[in-house]
Amino acid sequence: MRCWFELFDRPGAFPALHLALLLLWLFATRRPDLAEPLTAIIRGAFDADLAFHESSGLAGGADEIVLLHLAVGGMITELLTLPDALGSDDPEAVLALLVDRLVYPSG
């Protein structure tokens, strides 16, 4: 689970980088010439993350990793833009709960 916390911590160290990427995503909705290479970059990064996850023998499969990427990306955006909107004082506890529920669901 530590690798998820490291991914979660990285944007906090460089918030302008994450926000710039968010702006690129927004611009790409109106500019197909930007959407195509940006999609390839994001997909390549996801494929590398998935390959790392699988080669490390971590729990969960591709579906769980997609869900975690979407959820963690949303959490990061929330914390960088409106950190008080959801009222969570402990984002790491929320992330731990998210990983536990998605990757290790109770039967």
| Tens-place pLDDT, residues 21-72 | 999 999 999 999 999 999 999 999 889 988 988 888 877 888 888 888 888 8
Residue 6 has a pLDDT of 66
Alpha-carbon dihedral angle through residues 55, 60, 63, 68, given to the nearest 10 degrees: -100
Locate 85 and state its tokens. 């909107």
Residue type, 13: A
Residue 1 has a pLDDT of 52
What pTM was computed for the model? 0.74
Is the per-residue pLDDT at 3 higher than 90? no
